[in-house]
């Protein structure tokens, strides 16, 4: 009986609990109105419907009601029972809403049912039912099919549901003048369109369509849509340019497109047009017929906008005529093509930073804003570089929406949106915490182009609003000092002439510059102006300033994890892991805007780098602003190899996965702050689930699973209230609440997602785990598909969670060579275009790739993310590689094992013939060698005595590719005392490789670094002085071109030592007297003793 009683009490408690839960589900509705989005406000609480009473019912209160019901924005907030008196209790009284609450009862109020109010004080609301309207498919923004935004979709309005009065209200709301006509549009395809179910009954004097009375039609069928034509401008476009943001200016007037003939066309007008077309700012006004003649029709007039920030429809063309246009008066422009950014509340080149998401502009939060990103913005606005981002309250007015994007820029991007950017989880910002910038301004007429930062590269100058080259045949360090000083880039480290592949094109701004070195601007030096390049006179000039130092993380899947690399003196190099710890890693993470360090990795955790090792024995306190400010051995001073390259994992490193199911279905988890945690599903839409599936390369469809079959998580619940839009290609770009390890109220809120697709199988198999691995290498993020093997096909790269193709614009053999080398497929046979191996699918990630051909990775080449739709999969780039790895003599890189020639399946008839002839030649040589040895043995037998030094015998020490330990002893005893050189023996696995007994002569330079697996004996004489030293400041580093004729014989014999390469230059006298370098990196070459 006791047991039965206990069970009865338990059942009773469960029943009471279920009643309590059901009573807690409050509801909201609008009653007795003309439709679902207008009526008396009623609330269901404790299973009973009641009303809301408020003598001070305001629009913010009504806004919460409309938003909660998905009815757009509030049009009117009404009281005194405008939709009749209700019944039941008065549940809510004297509400005080801010307007952003998620539910009406979340607003401030005295409590539930605390006051009984007469029902003639019942409140009412009229919601718009929609959040926007537009005209689409017409010749301009002022004519086309009428569409209304309903939640996240656009609904088409039926032709029978509007009249001319409604059209007048629409044209007025869109600032498109007066209504001209209503046309019967296209016939509806049944089941394909979302149809607006209300008829608008406007008076004609309403300011917004939402204010018009409406009548609900329950029928979901309609024969034709409504097309509205307003009297506003016809429209503008840029025609016959290489991109959608450059070309000849054309105007639509009277139903006909014609070129704009503007006698007063200038940079101000061009800049206004570029901004209105969402093409950034004007960069250039080309002269002549750069974009063709057009169709021969012209509209004469003067273009101008009435005010800053006005709509394009406000930019009128006055005195329209239709006559011929004198030569040179038709309008042309080249815009930057960088949409969605601007400066407000200041000048053209200073102010508060605003960015646009979709159609909504907002201030940018300053929490992650830095000088590097600011300089990219200034450059895209044609405003020089960023001088300051600390402006106090100078441009801040405390108004407007705030976007929380964090931009991680390298500094060489063309547009701010080309930088990696993350919004997910970023902290909230007030409007007074908006990002600001002061750019150097339009007067700053100097820039460095084509380098790794704004402080190194080819010198260019802007004269009369157009950028031109600087040419000089006597360019020296004094001239370079002036350039660096003017750009606030520190002091000059190098003055050089770029090689042919890096030279500029186009007009020449200055030539024959002669500076004393103390001038503040290049224009203050002795110069001459020239718009043409005299044959054989002067070359483009370049500068590397001390302010060009950069830091990056390489081979991590995202920007906040990877191998640490530094850019110094124009060269990228790594950091040795000796004494590498969290304090050092913290400085790196902080410098990159990546939070704090989670792990400080050693032993080339993210793969071995190549080239220079810049720093060793780094010993940071953690408070330094730059890694190179920490104590260390000094630049280039080290006793390391690349197997000791340092790496970091920062707290802002993000990763995404689905667990407890398969790759494309499971519980959603995000990696943040070094820990995997769940994501909450509150307010999550299906569009967000689709974004997750695309992010994970799991197809274009997905849904939130409600059965919770993928189990509960155990770690933190990192995020809640994630909201993605159609513009977001990655989950990292979506809005959400800030990071919080306790974002969910309970585990039932965790997100479970099932995607419709499956991850594509990729070949070769090494790629399968790469995209979701934190140790993914550059090589694994590149592949070729559609060919007969892994060395030919369409080029595809991994970016932002999916594979995509490369546009063939400017694709050439230099680009193809880099791809083939990176894949271990030898050199390029051909660089193919126009989808030779078939059209790809998915995104097109890159366009305008400009490799020199010497880069180790495609990621090292200048390129830009596809910024517009001027490229499609018919233009996919491809390569055909030789499949055979070429032997190189570079001692600065330990190349991974390459595929043998046989693997590629490319053994052709000429190769077979070469093999046969080679075998015959070897046989003949073997016979001759045997006869020679026999004759020599007979000659030796006839000698009376034997002198061991009568002839020199040289022996090559074999080089082991298997990296076995070499046990070589007694080498120093083999030679007489007093020899001028001593053989130092290096073996890779020696226990004493880092001991004090093994020293280095000085900083290791590119092309002169001892690499793994070499026994280097005497070092070949090289330059007596470091060309980077202060003593050689006046020297110019010249990068010569390859001549058409024969090369210097010494260079031909020793390709690894280029006497004219940066860092290896010597004078003519030194070259004549210097000994040749080590002949072959695969041998221990002992210097000839001179007997």
> Which pLDDT tens digit goes with each residue over 982-1038?
333 333 333 333 333 333 333 333 333 333 333 333 333 443 344 333 333 433 444
pLDDT, residue 626, reads 93
Nearest in space to 118 (alpha carbons), one of 78, 95, 85, 83 = 85
Cα atoms in the 13 Å half-sphere on the side-chain side of 138: 26
- For the segment 379-394, the average pLDDT, to the nearest whole number, is 83
Tens digit of each residue's pLDDT (9 = 90 or more) over 118-128:
888 899 998 88
240-280 tens-digit pLDDT: 887 788 888 887 765 567 888 877 788 778 888 887 788 88
Is the pLDDT at 805 greater than 70? The verdict is: yes
Whole-number Å distance between alpha carbons of 1063 and 1032: 11
Residue-wise pLDDT tens digits, 9-46: 444 333 333 333 334 578 899 998 877 788 999 999 98
Note whether 411 and 405 are within 8 A (CB). no
Residues 624-673: pLDDT tens digits?
999 999 999 999 999 999 999 999 999 999 999 998 888 789 999 999 99
Q: Does the pLDDT of residue 160 top 90, yes or no?
A: no
**Mean pLDDT, the chain, integer:** 75
CA separation for the pair 567, 1090 (Å, rounded): 43
For residue 940, what pLDDT is reported?
A: 55
Task: Please tell me the predicted confidence (pLDDT) of residue 225.
Answer: 86
Highest mean pLDDT among 56-60, 134-138, 373-377, 985-989: 373-377
Report the distance separating Cα 49 and Cα 31, nearest Å: 11
Q: What is the rounded average pLDDT of the residues 942-960?
A: 38
Q: 875, 845, 876, 864: which is closest to 338 by C-alpha?
A: 864
Predicted pLDDT of residue 134: 85
pLDDT in tens, 744-763: 999 999 999 999 877 654 33
pLDDT range class, residue 728, cuts 50, 70, 90: confident
State residue 43's pLDDT score: 94
| Rg, C-alpha atoms of the chain | 36
Sort 552 into a burial class: Cβ within 10 Å, 0-12 / 13-18 / 19+.
middle
Question: How far apart are the C-alpha atoms of 299 and 319, rounded to whole Å?
Answer: 9
- Which range, 187-191, 430-434, 684-688, is most confident? 684-688
Query: What one-character-per-residue DSSP string does 448-514 give?
Result: EEESSSTTEEEEEEEETTEEEEEEESS--HHHHHHHHHHTT--SEEEEEE--GGG---S-EEEEEEE
Q: pLDDT tens digits, residue range 261-270?
A: 877 788 778 8
pLDDT band at 233 (very low <50, low <70, confident <90, very high): low
- Is pLDDT at 950 greater than 50 in this prediction? no
Q: Quickly count: other Cβ atoms within 10 Å of residue 775's Cβ.
A: 17
pLDDT given at position 40: 93
Over residues 293-318, mean pLDDT: 62
867 has a pLDDT exceeding 50: yes
The pLDDT of residue 232 is 63
How confident is the model at residue 1073, as a pLDDT? 42
Per-residue pLDDT, 494:
92
pLDDT at 9: 42
Does 743 have pLDDT greater than 90? yes
| Residue 971, Cβ density class (10 Å: 0-12 exposed, 13-18 middle, ≥19 buried) | middle
The pairing of strands 864-865 and 878-881 is unpaired
CB 127 within 8 A of CB 72: yes
Per-residue pLDDT tens over the stretch 516-534: 999 988 888 888 765 544 4
Contact (CB, 8 A) for 1033 and 477:
yes
Residue of 127, 132, 128 lying closest to 152 (CA atoms): 132
User: Does residue 446 have a pLDDT over 90?
Assistant: no
Hey, is 639 helix, strand or coil? coil
Token readout for 114 is 């605390």
Is residue 133 scored above 80 in pLDDT?
yes
pLDDT band, residue 773 (cuts 50/70/90): very low
Name the one residue in this structure whose structure tokens are 């041998």: 1083
Eight-state DSSP code of residue 645: B
Per-residue confidence (pLDDT) for residue 689, from 0 to 100: 92
Residue 694 near residue 737, CB atoms below 8 Å:
no
CB of 436 closer than 8 Å to CB of 391: yes
**Mean pLDDT of the 472-483 span:** 91
pTM over 0.85: no
Helix ranges, 499-608 (H): 582-591
Calpha distance 539→472 (Å, rounded)? 5
Residue 339 preceded by cis peptide, ω within 30: no
Pairing of strands 224-230, 38-45: unpaired
Distance CA 496, CA 544 (A): 8
Q: How many CB atoms lie within 10 A of CB 180?
A: 18
């Amino acid at each position: 009986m006791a047991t039965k009683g206990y069970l009865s009490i338990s059942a009773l408690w469960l029943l009471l609990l279920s009643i309590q839960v059901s009573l807690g589900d409050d509801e909201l509705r609008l009653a007795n109105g003309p439709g679902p989005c207008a009526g008396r406000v009623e609330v269901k609480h404790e299973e009973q419907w009641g009303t809301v009473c408020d003598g001070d019912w305001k629009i913010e209160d009504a806004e919460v009601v409309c938003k909660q019901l998905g009815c757009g924005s509030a049009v009117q907030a009404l009281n005194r029972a405008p939709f009749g008196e209700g019944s039941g209790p008065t549940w809510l009284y004297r509400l005080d809403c801010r307007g952003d609450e998620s539910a009406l009862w979340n607003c401030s109020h005295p409590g539930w049912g605390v006051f009984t109010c007469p029902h003639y004080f019942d409140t009412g609301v009229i919601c718009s039912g929609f959040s926007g309207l537009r005209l689409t498919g017409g010749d301009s923004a002022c004519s086309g099919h009428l569409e209304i935004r309903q939640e996240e979709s656009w609904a088409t309005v039926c032709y029978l549901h509007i009249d001319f009065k409604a059209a007048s209200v629409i044209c007025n709301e869109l600032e498109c003048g007066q209504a001209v006509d209503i046309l019967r549009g296209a016939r509806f395809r049944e089941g394909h369109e979302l149809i607006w179910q209300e008829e608008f009954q406007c008076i004609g004097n309403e300011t917004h369509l939402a204010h018009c009375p409406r009548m609900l039609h329950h029928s979901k069928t309609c024969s034709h849509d409504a097309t509205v034509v307003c009297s506003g401008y016809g429209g503008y476009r840029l025609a016959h340019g290489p991109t959608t943001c450059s070309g000849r200016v054309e105007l639509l007037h009277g139903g006909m497109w014609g070129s704009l003939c503007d006698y007063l066309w200038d940079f101000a007008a061009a800049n206004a047009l570029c901004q209105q077309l969402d093409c950034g700012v004007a960069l250039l006004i080309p002269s002549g017929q750069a974009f063709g003649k057009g169709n021969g029709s012209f509209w004469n007039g003067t273009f101008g906008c009435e005010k800053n920030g006005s709509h394009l429809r406000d930019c009128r063309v006055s005195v329209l005529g239709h006559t011929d246009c004198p030569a040179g008066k038709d309008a042309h422009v080249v815009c930057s093509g960088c949409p969605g950014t601007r400066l407000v509340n200041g000048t053209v080149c200073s102010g508060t930073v605003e960015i646009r998401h979709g159609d909504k502009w907002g201030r940018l939060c300053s929490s992650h804003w830095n000088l590097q990103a600011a300089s990219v913005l200034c450059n895209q606005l044609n405003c020089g570089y960023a001088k300051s981002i600390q402006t106090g309250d100078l441009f801040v007015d405390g108004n407007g929406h705030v976007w929380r994007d964090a931009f991680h820029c390298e500094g060489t991007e063309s547009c701010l949106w080309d930088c990696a950017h993350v919004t997910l989880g970023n902290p909230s910002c007030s409007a007074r915490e908006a990002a600001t910038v002061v750019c150097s301004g339009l007067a700053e007429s100097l820039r460095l182009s084509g380098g790794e930062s704004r402080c190194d590269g080819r010198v260019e100058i802007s004269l009369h609003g157009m950028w031109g080259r600087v040419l000089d045949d006597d360019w020296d360090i004094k001239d370079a000092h002036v350039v660096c000083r003017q750009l606030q880039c520190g002091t000059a480290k190098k003055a050089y002439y770029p090689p042919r592949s890096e030279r500029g094109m186009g007009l020449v701004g200055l030539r024959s510059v002669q500076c004393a070195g103390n001038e503040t601007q290049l224009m203050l030096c002795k110069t001459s102006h020239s718009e043409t390049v005299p044959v054989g006179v002067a070359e483009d000039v370049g500068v590397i300033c001390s302010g060009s130092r950069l830091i990056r993380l390489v081979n991590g899947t995202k920007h906040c994890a990877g191998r640490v690399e530094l850019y110094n003196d124009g060269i990228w190099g790594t950091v040795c892991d000796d004494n590498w710890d969290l304090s050092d890693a913290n400085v790196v993470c902080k410098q990159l805007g990546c939070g704090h360090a989670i792990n400080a990795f050693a032993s080339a955790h993210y793969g071995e780098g190549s080239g220079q090792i810049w720093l060793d024995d780094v010993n940071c306190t953690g408070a330094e602003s730059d890694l190179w400010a920490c104590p260390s051995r000094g630049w280039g001073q080290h006793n390391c190899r690349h197997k000791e390259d340092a790496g970091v994992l920062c707290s802002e490193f993000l990763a995404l996965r689905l667990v407890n199911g398969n790759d494309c279905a499971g519980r959603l988890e995000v990696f943040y702050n070094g820990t995997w945690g769940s994501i909450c599903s509150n307010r999550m839409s299906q569009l967000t689930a689709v974004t997750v599936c695309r992010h994970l390369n799991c197809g274009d469809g997905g849904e939130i699973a409600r059965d919770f079959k993928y189990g509960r998580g155990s770690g933190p619940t990192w995020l809640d209230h994630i909201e993605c839009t159609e513009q977001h290609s990655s989950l990292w770009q979506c809005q959400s609440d800030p990071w919080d390890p306790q974002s969910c109220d309970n585990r039932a809120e965790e997100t479970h997602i099932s995607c419709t697709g499956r991850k594509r199988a990729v070949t070769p198999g090494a790629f399968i785990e790469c995209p979701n691995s934190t140790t993914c290498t550059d090589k694994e993020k590149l592949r070729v598909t559609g060919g007969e093997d892994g060395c030919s096909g369409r080029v595809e790269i991994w970016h932002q969670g999916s594979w995509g193709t490369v546009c063939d614009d400017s694709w050439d053999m230099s680009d193809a060579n880099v791809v083939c080398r990176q894949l271990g497929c030898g050199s390029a046979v051909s660089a193919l275009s126009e989808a030779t191996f078939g059209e790809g699918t998915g995104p097109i990630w890159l366009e305008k790739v400009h490799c020199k051909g010497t880069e180790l990775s495609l990621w090292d080449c200048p390129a830009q993310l596809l910024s517009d739709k001027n490229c499609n999969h018919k233009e996919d780039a491809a390569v055909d590689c030789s499949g055979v790895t070429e032997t190189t003599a570079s001692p600065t890189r330990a190349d991974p094992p390459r595929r043998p020639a046989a693997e590629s399946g490319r053994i052709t008839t000429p190769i077979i013939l070469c093999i046969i002839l080679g075998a015959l030649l070897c046989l003949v040589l073997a016979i001759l060698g045997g006869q020679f040895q026999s004759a020599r043995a007979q000659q030796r037998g006839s000698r009376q005595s034997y002198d061991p030094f009568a002839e020199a015998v040289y022996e090559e020490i074999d080089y082991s590719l298997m990296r076995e330990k070499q046990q070589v002893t007694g080498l120093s005893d083999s030679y007489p005392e007093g020899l001028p050189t001593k053989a130092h023996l290096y073996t890779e696995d020696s226990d004493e490789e880092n001991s004090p007994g093994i020293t280095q002569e000085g900083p290791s330079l590119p092309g002169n670094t001892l690499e793994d697996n070499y026994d280097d004996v005497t070092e070949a004489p090289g330059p007596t002085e470091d060309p980077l030293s202060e003593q050689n400041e006046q020297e110019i580093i010249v990068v010569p071109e390859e001549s058409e004729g024969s090369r210097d014989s010494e260079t031909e014999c020793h390709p690894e030592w280029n006497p004219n390469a940066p860092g290896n230059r010597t004078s003519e006298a030194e070259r004549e007297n210097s000994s040749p370098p080590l002949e072959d990196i695969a041998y221990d070459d002992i210097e000839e003793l001179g007997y």
